[in-house]
Chain A
Amino acid sequence: MLDNLQLLFVYAPVMNIQMILDGIFVGAVFALSAYGLALVWGVMNVKNLAQGDFVIMGGYVAFSLYKLGIHPVIAIPIVAVCMFMFGWIVYIMIIRRVIDNDMFVSLLATFGLSLLLQQVMNLIYGPEVQTIDSHFPIFTMFDDFVTIPVVKIVSLALAMIFALAVVIFMKKSRMGQAIRATAQDARAARVLGINTDNVYAFTYSLNASICGVAGVLVSMIWVLQPFYGIVYSLRTFAIVTAAGLGNLPAVIGMSFALGWVEQYAGIIAGAEWQVASAVFMLLGVLMWRQIQLRRQRQVVR
């Protein structure tokens, strides 16, 4: 551990640039799925624990298309549409029945959905780690200390473009307005003639679609495995609880922060601690929130 710290800060401080860049590249993926979760949580009050499995599923759809000879960058719109339809089906079959219930029911239902998706993906694709080779060149800088695969830059750009498209959609389009209205006051929206059931279905499907796109980026820059989804769920929860709902700049900032924390934990304590560090960050954030809330909590003495 001390050796790694020495390496990082004394012998080759230029490696920090690599860490920071990698943190930004993976953070962009986290930001997409976290934005989807914030959307669903804010609009429908459904805590979607299947978030990470949607990400992995989108990646596997792209993987199947890649096997058919379609480049992942071209596959992004196809995956978005596929995941949109899948999200709609999931909404009709599961989420609609739990949406009015106790909030814990939605958590349990989506947890069950997540386990189901994991097993189905395991049956179809097997437990091996998969990745997509997108044939982009790799740059090196600073005497080969910093390597920047072009695919990561491309994925960052794609994430930015997609996020921008979603934000513009939410601001400008009729459906986006309806979603925002429903988030503010579902009952009033219903009174004013918005079909909230449709809005909920659309929101959930949009979330699935955003996750799917994030999954394509994961499959390009990282690896896919059927059981990695739950870790993405925890990461998105950590980001959203830290950033708050409907606060896009904070979501992006927290995503990059989480990316950096994971990168540094990975290099300092060992690769296995990457996931654990994300979980500890989640716990830390939750504790911090609770301490904040405790200040405001009032007890009759």
Chain B
Amino acid sequence: MTKNQILLYLAIAISGVVGPILFPNYIQQMAVLWIMVLMASTWDITGGQMGYNSLGNITFFGVGMYISAVIQVSMFYDIALYTASYGAIKPVFTDEQYFSGLAMGILAGGVGCVVLARLLGAVVFGLRGPYFAIGTLGVAIAAGQIAGTIDTIGGGAGISMPFFPWDIHYPVDLLLHHLFCACDSCHISPSAGCFQLSLVWLQMQSVMMKIKLKPWVFQL
């Protein structure tokens, strides 16, 4: 890494930290921007370094999001009752409940996606080239359709997430708000979403691919 690159990364990091303080009206957009950075890097891992052009990374985005949302809510409330009220009744989450739920949810989302990726990988890695791209796109759309049929997680109406418990007037809270923006104010529904640890999944998956490919490589 050259000096210029380090400076560049430093500038990006600082802009990420200072940006929401300087432009508080655009916090939502900036949070989405960082999520998109993450999604783009997942594409870099699958399409660029792994050589599998996947149009279905969004599957894991959605699955991770649902897993984390369900974990976060169901740690303290009955998930079926919570979703049945369609967000009309807002159960109160204390700070402790909110953050422990969020941490567990993010963790479970990452782990769940890894497990799902292992299972799905057994099916879709049989495909090559454009068929892989179309197959994974199909998986993503099917996942959305199926998520819409499960009433426990809200069906077609989705899950409304609990509100972020703190005020957002102070810079520190602002930063936290920036970090949690995605999980906090987004209304989760099968077709639109926010991020979870799909990156973790993809890194794990690429590691697995290397392990899987090893005997093959030696044969060559």
Contacts and interface: CB of A to CB of B under 8 A. Distances in A.
Is the pairing of A and B real? yes
Interface stretch (A158-166, A216-224, A276-284): A276-284
A88 B149 CA distance: 40
Contacts of B131: 241, 286, 289-290
B129 A103 contact: yes
Interface string A32-63: 00000000000000010100000000000000
B184 to A, nearest CB: 25
A107 to B, nearest CB: 5
A294 to B, nearest CB: 8
B116 to A, nearest CB: 15
Main SS at interface, chain B: helix
A290 B145 contact: no
Contacts of A282: 134-135, 138
Interface stretch (B16-24, B89-97, B120-128, B205-213): B120-128
Given A272-B149, A273-B149, A275-B145, A283 B139 contact: yes
Contacts of A272: 145-146, 148-149
B141 A230 contact: yes
Contacts of B137: 49, 111, 230, 234
Q: Which of A270, A280, A287 has the most CB atoms of chain B within a 10 A radius of its CB? A: A287
B35 interface: no
B53 interface: yes
Contacts of A108: 53
Sorting the interface of chain A by its residue count into under 10, 10 to 19, 20 to 34 or 35 or more gives 20 to 34
Interface residues of B, number: 25
A231 interface: yes
Contacts, number: 75
B219 A299 contact: yes
Given A47-B130, A107-B130, A301-B219, A234 B123 contact: no
Nearest to A281: B138
Given A234-B134, A286-B131, A290-B126, A279 B142 contact: yes
B138 A279 contact: yes
Interface string B129-160: 11101110111011001101100000000000
B127 A286 contact: yes
A231 to B, nearest CB: 7
A138 interface: no
Nearest to B131: A286
B108 interface: no
A175 B141 CA distance: 38
A234 B145 CA distance: 14
Contacts of A280: 142
A287 B131 CA distance: 10
B119 interface: no
A282 B137 CA distance: 11
The 8 lowest CB-CB distance pairs between A and B, nearest first, are A279-B142, A279-B138, A272-B149, A290-B126, A276-B145, A276-B142, A275-B145, A282-B138
14 contacts: A104-B133, A107-B53, A111-B55, A234-B137, A270-B149, A272-B149, A273-B149, A279-B138, A279-B141, A280-B142, A286-B126, A286-B131, A287-B126, A301-B219
Given A279-B139, A282-B135, 7 more contacts: A47-B130, A104-B130, A234-B134, A279-B141, A282-B134, A287-B123, A290-B131
Interface of B: 53, 55, 123-124, 126-131, 133-135, 137-139, 141-142, 145-146, 148-149, 191, 219-220
